[in-house]
Amino acid sequence: MNYERNKIELEENGFSVLADLYSDKEISGIIACIENAEQDGNSFMKTKDLFAIRQLIKNVPELSDLLFNEKLIELISELSESEYFLTKAIYFDKPRESNWFVAYHQDLSISVDQKTELENYTNWTFKKGQYGVQPPIEVLEDTITIRIHLDKTDKNNGALKVIPKSHLKGIIRAESKDWNLENEFICEVEKGGAMLMKPLTLHASNRTTNGKKRRVIHLEFNKHNLTKPLNWLEHYGIKKPAHNNV
């Protein structure tokens, strides 16, 4: 597979969509693995509007080999020449009856192992038993988000809307109108496909209106070590792609 187009789109526009990252059989295996997991503890959140699993690899370790198939490993390798590692893994299930939307925002928080006062680390939070913090901007700029779609997702069941190139403007205040909604793009993704995104890209999602599920595995990758003594809450190395000499 050649992901050069996706790499260019991600850098220039802040997002890219690709199909066929996983086969139907692979998606079925991923869904079965999640459904068979023990669902208790802080990391599992279940309401009528949302089912989410935080620290997904820690809580469902069997998923690791299913997610990191040859295509995903190849994709990450081609997106950057640096050594990237996984820093966040969350499973989201937006159920059929879910009726909420998410306004435009940037993903500005990372999950870390402790709270400590450090320069350029701001806006601390503590939710569901884990610390979040806004890190130095270069950490956010170098984050690669890969959203794996377990269902076909379109404008009727919560596909993400994005503002192309908004990641190039740095951190945008919530009340700012420093973007042009006329440029809004809806990222429709096939089942087994993925959406790539920079966290500083302004993104939002609408309510589900067609009664269909939208199950997504949200993965974030980075190459930076954090300022000591701070560490990423999640840190998983990535296998090298197995290149065939054919």
Q: If we measure between CA atoms, which residue out of 107, 108, 111, 120 comes closest to residue 87? A: 111
**How far is the CA of 39 from the CAs of 43, 59, 61, 200, 228, in angstroms?**
9, 9, 13, 32, 33
Angle formed by the axes of helices 70-79 and 4-13, nearest 10°: 50
Rg (CA), the chain: 17
pLDDT in tens, 57-115: 999 999 999 999 999 999 999 999 889 999 999 999 876 666 667 889 999 999 999 99
Tell me what pLDDT residue 245 has: 44
Q: If we measure between CA atoms, which residue out of 62, 42, 41, 44 comes closest to residue 52? A: 44
- Per-residue pLDDT averaged across 127-143, rounded? 96
pLDDT in tens, 22-59: 999 999 999 999 988 877 666 676 655 558 899 999 99
* DSSP letters for 107-119: ---EEES-----T
Give domain limits for the chain.
4-222
- Among 2.60.120.620, 3.40.1710.10, 3.40.630.10, 3.30.70.890, what is the CATH number of 4-222? 2.60.120.620
